[in-house]
Structure 1
Amino acid sequence: MTWEADGVLGLDLVDPEGKPLPAWTPGAHIDLHVGGQIRQYSLCGDPGDSARYRVAVLDEPASRGGSRHVHTRLRPGETVAVKGPRNHFALADAPSYLFIAGGIGITPILAQAREATRLGRPWQLWHGGRSRASMAFGDELGALAEQAQRAGVDGTLRFRPQDEHGHLDLVHILAQAGQDTAVYCCGPEPLLAAAEAACAERGLGDRLHVERFAAVAAEPPADGERGFTVECARSGGTVTVGPDESVADALERAGVAVETSCRDGICGTCETRVLAGTPDHRDMLLSAEEHAAGKSMMLCVSRCASDRLVLDL
């Protein structure tokens, strides 16, 4: 355990028996079972290191308690349960990359910038935060930029602490994007919403990839919610989902075990394969193409656009 910045604690997680850990790709996160809760943390280490997972946890006293447990109760040598990794923020194949990180959103971006360097692709990384002291991995990012330059890769790093520079100037930052540049943004919701709006104005919406820490409230249908039926293909049960409950809640009410965490459609813990029926997707993870395909859905928020869903449960 190491302090990566003010209020940011870094953890190295290893297998108790020294076994190699499952492989992961930049942008992936793991589920960490702490304090009776399941919380998601982005992997920020080296995918080539199969001996350890590295995460960084921001102390958030107003949160639901996962970060508080890590900061006040978890100690070196203790055993924790980990599930994953899963990746809904994978690095696309692109000629160049523009990375925008706000605060603790630097965690997946760090691994992605490292991967871009390994691939020999040009990149820019703009890192914003409240102050320099609160911005994690400053020295490591600086070393990565130097490594890129030594390798002949155009890797440019820009620190923009808010108390020195104000908020990130997204209009200026996005002006740096080339015709085929992939844009990756992770951080608090106001930054993501601003990035989405700015990219839409510049015609970059299809090249923007974001990862959210909190859900965006969805507007209910104008004619109200409707109930539907869910069939569990493996267990053989049938459950009626009411207008005022989620699929996950209805299944749990009927005694069907469903693993959930965020309950907001942002973590992917409850993603389940759809065998028949048309999901009404309301998550913040799956792409537009994945929504259209309808092969899986998040049970905590998504509903049904048909009368019946058959799930791989």
Structure 2
Amino acid sequence: MGVDEVGAGGSHAPALRVTAKETVAEGVVALELAHPDGARLPDWTPGAHIDLILPGGLTRQYSLCGDRWDAYRYRVGVLREPDGRGGSAYVHDRLRVGDSVGVGGPRNNFPLVPSDNYLFIAGGIGITPLMPMLHQADLLGAEWSLVYGGRHRGSMAFLGELARYGDRVHVVPEDERGRPDLDTWLGEPRDDVRVYCCGPPGLLDAVDTACATWPAPALRTERFTARQQESQVRDAPFEVVLARRGTTVTVTPGVSVLDAVRTAHVDVLSSCMRGTCGTCATGVLDGVVDHRDSLLTDDERAAGDCMFPCVSRSRGDRLVLDL
């Protein structure tokens, strides 16, 4: 395997070089990544993330938070998670400038849709996917505001960069001002405003509740942890037909659709295994999906033409997948 590839989980990903590593807040480092030969990197759009493929098969998703117009560098912010599975600890403690790291993507499950007016709400490291959105909204001349909450100022990344936007940015450190007053910002539904929110589960749940009376397309959220799910609709075996292969596999309780599909030697790319990253998105040709992901909107779920087999299952006896 050459210097330009890193293996992980049976797949290959291009290796980028760490060109800068900087502490940007308490417990947060920013990495800059570039191609070792100085080549142009794939384009991306605000809200996109990349996979960092780390030693031992660890794959972690991090939102791109740099300049999307810089074709030669990616930037991500990484929060140290003491209770995590080791990915953030590796980045903080062992990854050095000059090291190579496998990178997958970019992919965007959190796209910025056109609007004349935006409200951005961030909690902690949730600021990262919103940074390029602010820049894009500014370039387009849209009206926008950012509400940015955190434990205290020292824990809140990129405050220096955000200062250039002046009073459109509302910094709410909890130790100074308490938690953001969502009733003030979201109490009155508006047809002309798009709301984008990223942060810890408590904030996302509170924003979901506050936007319950808003028009359905108004709110878009991105979760770094899986949404708490209701109990599964079905706890019995079902069949999955792989339409391109002409093969049928049986999915038993306790086995994911993804794992069952792999027994038929069909390699579906995957990463988080929690329904949060979007890597394993698979087309559905027939059947009714029991959606267990934290990505699809209600309209997308109702359409029934896509699922994430790492977590989602079938409501009936049979699913036909575009595999």
TM-score, structure 2 normalization: 0.88
1:44 maps to 2:56: no
Equivalent residue, structure 1, for 2:227 = 216
Cα distance between partner residues in 2 of 1:176 and 1:211: 22
| 1:55 aligns to 2:76 (yes or no) | yes
What is the one-letter code of the residue matched to 2:141? G
**Aligned pairs for 1:151-166 within 5 A:** 156-166=168-178
Counterpart selection for 1:187 from 187, 199, 213: 199
Give 2:52's aligned residue.
32
Q: In the alignment, is the contact (CA less than 8 A) between 2:189 and 2:214 conserved in 1?
A: no
In the TM superposition, residue 311 of structure 1 has moved relative to its aligned partner by: 2.4
1:176 positional shift: 7.6
Question: Which AA in structure 2 matches 1:214?
Answer: T
User: Match for 1:86 among 107, 126, 130?
Assistant: 107
Any unmatched runs of 5+ in structure 2? 1-20
Q: Residue 303 of structure 1 is aligned with which of 303, 313, 319?
A: 313
List aligned pairs for 1:123-142, cutoff 5 A.
123-142=144-163
Contact 1:196 1:205 in 2 (8 A): no
Q: Give the Cα separation in 2 of the matches to 1:227 and 1:218.
A: 20
Q: Which residue of structure 2 aligns with residue 292 of structure 1?
A: 302
Separation in 2 of the partners of 1:281 and 1:171? Answer: 30
Shift of 1:229: 1.2
Match of 1:171 among 177, 183, 190: 183
Q: Is the CA contact (8 Å cut-off) linking 2:187 and 2:210 kept in structure 1?
A: no
Q: Indicate the percent of aligned positions where both proteins have the same amino acid.
A: 52
Greater Cα offset, 269-278 or 103-112: 269-278
Q: Does 1:230 align with 2:250?
A: no
Structure 2 equivalent of residue 13 of structure 1? 33
Cα distance in structure 2, aligned partners of 1:204 and 1:240: 40
1:152 is aligned to none
**1 CA distance for matches of 2:216 and 2:176?**
29
Give the direction of change, closer, same or farther, for the CA distance of 1:179–1:257 in structure 2 (3 Å limit): closer
RMSD: 1.8
Residue by residue over 1:131-177, the C-alpha shift from the partner in whole angstroms, topping out at 9 and shown as x without a partner, is 1011000010112x05xxxxxxxx71110001101111111122487
Of 279, 282, 289 in structure 2, the residue corresponding to residue 279 of structure 1 is: 289
Q: 1:191 Cα shift?
A: 0.3
Give the residue type in structure 1 aligned to 2:108: N
The alpha carbon displacement at 1:187 in A equals 0.1
Cα distance in 1 for partners of 2:88, 2:63 equals 13
Q: Do the aligned partners of residues 267 and 287 (structure 1) sit closer, same or farther apart at CA in structure 2, a change above 3 Å counting?
A: same
Q: CA deviation at 1:253?
A: 4.3
What's the offset of the Cα at 1:80? 1.1
Displacement after TM superposition at 1:65 (Å):
1.0
**Greater shift after overlay, 275-284 or 240-249?**
275-284
Q: Provide the residue aligned with 2:141 in structure 1.
A: 120
Q: Which moved more, 1:273-282 or 1:61-70?
A: 273-282
